[in-house]
Amino acid sequence: MSRSVRTRPEGSGQALSEAYDTALLDLDGVVYAGGNAIEHAVPSLAVARDGGMRLAYVTNNALRTPGAVAAHLTELGIPAEAGDVITSAQAVARLIADQVPQGSRVLVVGGEGLRVALRERGLEPVESADDEPVAVVQGYGGPELAWGRFAEASYAVARGLPWFASNTDLTIPSGRGIAPGNGAAVEVVRIATGAEPQVAGKPLPPMHRETILRTGAERPLVVGDRLDTDIEGAFNGGVDSLLVLTGVTDGAQLLAAPPRHRPTYVDADLRGLLTGQPEVVGDGGAFRCGGWTAAAGAGRLELDGDGAPVDGLRALCAAAWTAAGDEVCGLDAGKALARLGL
């Protein structure tokens, strides 16, 4: 993917599942939410896989092991093995192992996924700041993670131990709505210590490195629902991306996205893997996609036409991103998005 300023979503004459050899799929908000499969996800992934596309599941959630994630996917009707799953726990464990001696003790604040990933790298997880750890690692521990775990991390970090975080996502989607993520927990330790962690997860390079090492992808397509992790991670890695609107990103956030958060493609859900992407065509100062025409003017985005809502959103993106240039677009898009039901 070019690092030049993106001013409109791109088109593709081929189905994305044919144009790319591997889909690097985020999980929460893309494949499932609250443990349940998102509508259209299971059949869409089956068709993409049967057509020869490799499916890899790349998640910033460090709570569960790859085996547990694969078992969950299989239960949902998406056959998967542990080797198909790449987690931020694996990325941060490699990051730590590159900096401390083999066999070192590491204080863990998080779930079993972190412990398994550390052992895979020859490191020993411990539970207390008094267990002589040489580093501290923090990952999402689920809603039952005890408050005292943050105190243990704070004691160790305050003593000068290097501090690592699997990721800093402030929120995580659930079946009941948006919940605090690991980034919120990291803030607790940051406030207590004034320290800054080394972070491995999306959108940072350690996660992209881990993903490519484990998948061997040559023409990867990042598929996600978050602009600041999935899409920025693709931008940082120099690869293309597909944003699906089944998770945390809404139309207004997409229109206001700065260049590093602008996806290559936009679609409503994972059915977008199975089709080509319509081209957004410039027409004077306006942009056409499907049956819609969008333009920026008089402090707002204007939309006219009819057709699939996502086509209207693509046209609006072109109008907004062209008007914004390198800056976040501040044009009022309320009426246009309401017309699309977005």
Q: Show which residues are catalytic.
A: 26, 28
Specify whether the CB–CB gap between 230 and 212 falls below 8 A.
no
What does the block give as tokens for 12? 């593709």
What CA–CA distance (Å, rounded) separates 157 from 5? 39
**Count of beta carbons in the 10 Å neighbourhood of residue 154:** 21
**By C-alpha distance, which of 242, 177, 232, 169 is closest to 205?**
232
Cis peptide leading into residue 203 (ω within 30°) = yes
Specify whether the CB–CB gap between 316 and 289 falls below 8 A.
no
**Side-chain-side CA neighbours of residue 76 (13 Å):** 25
Residue 114, beta-bridge partner list: none
Residue 210 per-residue DSSP state: H
Q: How many helices (H) and strands (E) does the chain have?
A: 12, 19
| Residue whose pair of structure tokens reads 């677009």 in the numeric block | 329
Q: C-alpha distances in angstroms, 212 versus 22, 39, 163, 215, 247?
A: 10, 28, 25, 5, 24
H-state helical runs in the chain: 16-19, 41-50, 66-75, 88-97, 112-120, 148-158, 182-193, 205-215, 232-237, 251-255, 309-324, 334-340
What does the block give as tokens for 229? 């992790």
Q: C-alpha distances in angstroms, 273 versus 6, 111, 112, 197?
A: 21, 32, 32, 36
Q: C-alpha distances in angstroms, 134 versus 112, 118, 167, 204?
A: 20, 13, 20, 23
